[in-house]
Amino acid sequence: MQATKPNVKSAQDDIELRKPESQDGARVHKLISECKPLDENSTYCNLLQCTHFADTCVAAEMDGDLVGFISAYIPPKQQNTLFVWQVAVHEKARGKGLAKRMLAELLERDDCANVQYIETTITPDNDASWGMFGSFAYARKWRTEQFILFDSRIHFAGEHKDEYLLRIGPFNRDKVDDVLGENG
C-alpha cells in the first residue's frame, strides 16, 4: 500500500490537488455557487465535507484560488464503493481534464484501497457529468450501468429532475496504471 501524497501538482498547468481542510469550507461553497447548475448546500455542509470527509474529497488550487472540488464518500454499507456527490470545476480551469484528474487522484489514495466501484447520480440533461464520467470509464475499459435512483415524481414531488445512478466498475484499484489511465 502506498502512502497518501499530501499534495499533487501538475507542471503542465500549475494546479495543485490536495485533501481539503476546514478553512476550505467557505471557499468550496463559493466555488459551487459559481458552477451552475450545481445544487448549493449550506456552508456548514461544505465544512463537514472538508473535515469529516476530507479523505475522500479533493480540492484543486491554481494561483491561490480554489478552482476544483470533488466531494465523495464511502457509504457505510458499501465499503467497496466511492460515491461521488459533486464535481465542481471553475470556468477558468475547464478544458484541462481537471475533473478526471481529481477523480483519479482520489482513487489513488489509501482510503480508497478497497474501492471497486464508483457511483454518482446525474440528471438526464447534465451533459458535462455524463461526458466526464463516461470518458473516465471508457478510457479504462470499465463497465458502466445506469438506472433511475430518485424519480422526479416520487422523490422530489415534481420539483427536481430524475436522478440517475451511474455505476462504474468493478475494477481492480491495485493496478494503478489501470486506474490512472494515460489520457483520461
- Domains (range + CATH), the chain: 7-180 (3.40.630.30)
Q: What is the pLDDT of residue 6?
A: 52
Q: What is the pLDDT of residue 3?
A: 42
Give percent above pLDDT 70 in the chain.
86
Give percent above pLDDT 90 in the chain.
74
Give 149 or 13, the one with higher predicted confidence. Answer: 149
| Cell numbers linked to 59 | 480540492
| Per-residue pLDDT band at 183 (split at 50, 70, 90) | very low
Q: What is the pLDDT of residue 88?
A: 97
3-state secondary structure of 108: helix
3-state secondary structure of 46: helix
What global pTM score does this model have?
0.87
Residues 170, 174: Cα–Cα separation, whole Å: 12
Q: What is the pLDDT of residue 140?
A: 93
Q: What is the pLDDT of residue 9?
A: 53
Residues 115, 108: Cα–Cα separation, whole Å: 10
Q: What is the pLDDT of residues 26-68, one digit of tens each?
A: 999 999 999 988 889 999 999 999 999 999 999 999 999 999 9
